[in-house]
Structure 1
Amino acid sequence: MMRNETTGRRADPTRMCVICRGRFPKSALRRHVAAATGDARLVPDPRAVMPGRGHYLCANPECAEKFSKYSGRPRRRRGGNGE
């Protein structure tokens, strides 16, 4: 990670909102992951410790409304047998 030159502290990582595609500090976004039950739902992960690919959502109310309809298409693993 890069360090901030003026304070010596680590820079906050940047993530992108899956709806508006805006880039924000990771701490300003809410993370969602696929439910452990295997269905296609995305559940909140407030502590950011659940396994799986995170989907980040900004605080914009319009993004929250669109996210309720977002499916979060599952991604295929690289190097696999196409499963």
Structure 2
Amino acid sequence: MCVICRGRFPKSALLRHVPAAGGETGPVSDPRAVAPGRGLYLCANPECAEKFLKYSGRPRRRRGGQGE
């Protein structure tokens, strides 16, 4: 599913991005789909690509307790 338009596409038709490692900010492209981390998938629509540049990609909030 595209994170911008929420359209459903085959996985092979989507571009995968992962959170940047190290000092970089924002998601980075993962064309081989082997980088660790939760992937963000983007369709090939140019409008989605433009909006993705502004996408914050905030990590999901974890469920559960604080660990006792």
Q: Same fold (TM over 0.5)?
A: yes
Counting matched residue pairs gives 67
State the Cα distance separating 1:28 from its structure 2 match.
0.3
Output aligned runs, 1:29-40, within 5 Å.
Answer: 29-37=14-22, 40=25
What stretches of structure 1 move > 4 A for 4+ residues in a row?
none
**CA distance in structure 1 between the aligned counterparts of 2:20 and 2:12, rounded to whole angstroms:** 22
User: Which structure shows the higher strand fraction?
Assistant: 1
**CA distance in structure 2 between the aligned counterparts of 1:40 and 1:78, rounded to whole angstroms:** 25
TM-score normalised to the size of structure 2?
0.87
TM-score normalised to the size of structure 1?
0.73
Partner of residue 57, structure 1 = 42
| Residue 70, structure 1, aligned to residue 55, structure 2 | yes
Unaligned runs of 5+ in 1: 1-15
Identical pairs, percent: 82
Unaligned runs of 5+ in 2: none
Q: CA offsets per residue over residues 36-76 of structure 1, 9 Å max, x none?
A: 11654100000000111110000000000000000111112
